[in-house]
Amino acid sequence: MVYLDHAATTEVRPEVIAEVAAGLGALGNPSSLHGHGRTARRAVEESRERIAEVLGSTPHEVVFTAGGTESDNIAIKGLYWSRHGQDPRRRRIITSAVEHHAALDPAHWTAEHQGAVHESLPVDDRGRVDPRTLREAVERDPDSVAVVSVMWANNEVGTVQPVAELAAVAAEYGIPFHTDAVQAVGAEEVDFAGSGVSALTVSGHKLGGPVGTGALLLARGLAPVPVLHGGGQERDVRSGTLATPLVRGLATAVGLAVAEREKHTDHLASLRDTLEERVRAVVPDVVVNGDTDRRLPGISHLSFPGCEGDALLMLLDAKGISCSTGSACSAGVAQPSHVLLAMGADPDTASSSLRLSLGRTSTGADVDALVEAIGPAVERSRAALAKRRGGR
């Protein structure tokens, strides 16, 4: 079996498994005041300090969550409710058109149910937001903007956004800027304070941590209205009893991912470039999507003219190769990628694509297996699509 879907989820690191397993038998709610509770609280706070140290924040700015989707929801809904509550004119939520649905859907929901106005910033054919585009959108009415959210790096095509420049534009007008950095941590140098962002999303299972863990880095002075109400944990931003072993596992995964970043990214970029070169030799008209000058090292997003991505995925799966047509959260949804459409691709091209994503354990043998299978898969997919269209 060959796994080329690390952007969807990647292996839990052995060190993380050991850390989580060691803590599962320990008693103690970190909110309790007795000795067992204080021991659990100490483990949580040490984890918070470890994450803050490697991501350039203070420990107080680290809010633990259940993952990227929850963090995005808190940032977008919570900051909208807070800012709109302070000033009813602040109704606009600005995102890029290529956000993950974990950010787009909260923005859509808030517009449909809470009186917000959601605006999508266009991107160029590489999937990149021009800071001038954000400035133009803000300057139409700065006082009406509640929050801006643009992801650090795209989960489908891997394009890295000019986050610091975008955050600087928002900061000029006192507007909170959130970035979903789920794909970036461990692949890019992520510095919360240095980037100038107000809120930043992290997810454990994208970098070798447990599924169901994440964090929202939240600058001092920001107080989003909670999405969950209950015990008031995590600065009253995210109520709920913390799973101490999972929090420790998250901190270990983040620490290792950041420490090994340069070595890891060099390996991935070299493997990705080899993959694309060899696939092009077999399928000469393949198209590489995204910003090839500034993208994540482990993502190769390819369009195969005359094919259907879903058909290619299943043909490769039959050969024991796992990949995706885009976000795993949208798997099974028969529609073109909203990311490629926003980049100017026509619907046929947007439907003909595969995301091949590499991870820490990917090898040259994985590339060999893909190259051997992709040519016949493309031929079968093209023949099937041509036959179906010819029969219409």
Residues identified as active-site:
329
Q: Give the relative orientation of helices 163-172 and 131-139 as an angle to the nearest 10 degrees.
A: 20
Q: Are 326 and 339 in contact (CB under 8 A)?
A: yes
